[in-house]
Amino acid sequence: MLIENRFLKFLFHLAMWGVIGFIAIPILTVMVMSVNTAASMRFPPSGITLDWYERYFSSGRWMEATFTSLQIGSLTALFTTALATLAAYALSRGTFQGKDIAYILLITPLVVPTMVLAIAFYFFYSSLQMTGNIFAVVLGHTIITFPIVLVTISASLQGVSENLELASRSLGASRLMTFFRIVLPLMVPGMVSGALFSFLLSFDELLIPLFLGGVGIVTLPTQIWSTLHFNYDQTISAVSTVIIVIMAFLLIIAQTVNRGAAKKRGGK
Amino acid sequence: MKQFLRRSPELWLIMPVFMFMAVFYAYPLLNMLAGSFEGDEGGFTLAEYRAIFDSDLYLRVFLRSLEISFWVTLISLLISYPFAYFAVYSKYTLLLFGVVAMSMWLGIIIRSYGWMGVLGDGGVLNYFIGFLTEDTSTWLYNRSAVVIGMVHILMPYMVLPLFAVMRSIPDNVLMASKSLGARNFYTFLKIYVPLSMPGILAGCLLVFIQSIGFYVTPALIGGRSEVMIAQLIELQVRDLLNWPFASALAATLLVITAVSLLICSRFVPLKLLWGGR
């Protein structure tokens, strides 16, 4: 540490824990508001209640939105992980020309603003009369979440020694067998965390379902969005708290899976 | 081609991926870009672009988006740099890093909504200000609210590359500088900052290109006078049904993003941006 004066050091540490406070405060606020008796966001809470949670779990509309989001998130994770696994393996082991350019092309969706993609997809699926179709939303999310999954799986593949494949091949296994018996099992942790990231991104994404969902497809983000604009109450806080808890849980799983895999490979 | 495939069978694996991307990603995007140049009766026209650059109103929205992105990037850097430094050398590295990485995934809408509860009329901030002075007001629906909300959401993208770079700076370098008689502050300025420059550039780029097209936070806590480009595009598509004009706006936004990316890629290896740990 380059700060030696003890008083300055104390101030610095205080400020940095303040940053943690800054990160935490809106999230904690939502959690507190979810048990507040008042229907608007008033602090301090006027009383404690679980009404908003009850409203969430007993509302057909919210439950349906939750189910739709889960469905879209899972399908997106499935599609994206399958595609990204193929691409990651080909890019890390292939010897063809233009590999670097292929990689860059495949991660460009990361830098295109989501609004631009949303309207481009909207025009595209409108011309096919496919808005309001769940697959339009899933395909849109597959494009958006593809880069991060590709990066995640590629990174995990870098930790897998190519010698294992060479050993398998030299012992007489075919390419295909080597892939399914050696490479794929070693890729599983990367695929699991990639799939989780894809699911989380899709679960939170507003613009694609807003544009491609038509009137039929209502996801949690679009339901939160319309509730915020039209009939606002603290059900949103309850829903948000549930989502936060589930997401934190999934993230911890992703982290544990990754770490366990790294240990197995001999720590990296 | 056949020979080519035999030499590298991996091409069979990546071909379907490229076909998928071509149909569901490249085609819609290029189609939209083409639409922005199409006149009412077909043919090529620049009328939509002229409409953007001739109008004070639209130019102001672009300028405002750039300004907001600039402030978001700068403030993120000013908070994230000391924070990443603190996290790298702290006893609680894993915890600090974990909080930041986790907040990145906790949802943009939820976090923007959380700021409504912090900055709003009966919000947390006003509650604490109420101890000091009677005179409280709403902190929402202005530029500071947008900037605060966006810094909160985009800060992790600054912290993570900084963290990655700082972790790789060896302690020996700093000790060498000290042992040669440099003061701490001088060591920091002349050794530490230049060594962490790739992280600074990567972080700034990531935050800037994401904030320029941001939608949720300005739409939720920004109010009518702080409209950004993405909101303008949404308005043109959903309410005014002016698709060619929306396409031209989107194309302009895309060009701004691409230019920032190209400028930055001259100074920083793009690998560091994604997955460069």
Residue A44 lies in a domain: no
Which pLDDT score is estimated for A242?
Answer: 92
Q: What confidence tens digit (pLDDT) does each residue in A210-263 have?
A: 999 988 899 999 999 999 888 778 889 999 999 999 888 888 887 787 777 766
What is the arithmetic mean of pLDDT over A192-201? 91
Compare all CA atoms of chain A with the CA of B150 and give the residue at the minimum distance.
A23
**A106/B17 CB distance under 8 A:** yes
Selecting from B31, B103, B120 the residue whose C-beta is nearest the C-beta of A123 gives: B31
**A143/B213 CB distance under 8 A:** no
Which pLDDT score is estimated for A106?
Answer: 92
ipTM: 0.89
* CATH number corresponding to B53-272: 1.10.3720.10
Tokens 């908070």 belong to B79
Residue A5 lies in a domain: no
Whether pLDDT at A186 is above 90: no
Whole-angstrom Cα distance, residue B161 to residue A21? 21
**B118/A13 CB distance under 8 A:** no
Q: What confidence tens digit (pLDDT) does each residue in A148-175 have?
A: 999 989 888 887 778 888 888 888 888 7
Please count the residue pairs, one from chain A and one from chain B, whose beta carbons lie less than 8 angstroms apart.
Answer: 225
Residue A33 lies in a domain: no
Question: How far apart are the CA of B119 and the nearest CA of chain A, in angstroms?
Answer: 9
**Strand locations in chain A (E):** none
Which pLDDT score is estimated for B120?
Answer: 83
Q: Hey, CA dihedral for A247, A250, A256, A257, is it positive or negative?
A: negative
Compare all CA atoms of chain A with the CA of B112 and give the residue at the minimum distance.
A26
Interface of A with B in 88-127 (CB under 8 A): 89-91, 93-96, 102, 104-107, 109-117, 119-124
Residue A68 lies in a domain: yes
Q: Which amino acid is at B225?
A: S
Helices (H) and strands (E) in chain B, counts: 15, 0
**B220/A44 CB distance under 8 A:** no
Residue A28 lies in a domain: no
pLDDT category of residue A23 using cuts at 50, 70 and 90: very high
Residue A144 lies in a domain: yes
Domain that holds residue A198: 59-264
Which pLDDT score is estimated for B6?
Answer: 59
Q: What confidence tens digit (pLDDT) does each residue in A93-120 have?
A: 877 778 888 888 898 998 899 999 999 9
Which pLDDT score is estimated for B53?
Answer: 87
Whole-angstrom Cα distance, residue A179 to residue B63? 52
Per the structure, how many domains does chain A have? 1
* Residue A108 DSSP code: G
A4 touches chain B (CB under 8 A): yes
Q: What confidence tens digit (pLDDT) does each residue in B127-179 have?
A: 888 787 776 677 888 888 999 999 999 999 999 889 888 988 888 888 888 78
CATH code (residue A170): 1.10.3720.10
Indicate which of B7, B10, B260 best probes the interface with A, i.e. most A CBs within 10 Å of its own CB: B10
**Is there a contact between B13 and A89 (Cβ–Cβ < 8 Å)?**
yes
Helices (H) and strands (E) in chain A, counts: 12, 0
Q: From chain B, pick out residues whose CB is under 8 angstroms from the CB of A137.
A: none
Residue A131 lies in a domain: yes
Residue A1 lies in a domain: no
Whole-angstrom Cα distance, residue B210 to residue B215? 10
Q: What confidence tens digit (pLDDT) does each residue in B62-88 have?
A: 999 999 999 999 999 999 999 999 999
Compare all CA atoms of chain B with the CA of A225 and give the residue at the minimum distance.
B109
A177 touches chain B (CB under 8 A): no
pLDDT category of residue B262 using cuts at 50, 70 and 90: confident
Q: From chain B, pick out residues whose CB is under 8 angstroms from the CB of A104.
A: 270
Domains of chain B, residue spans: 53-272
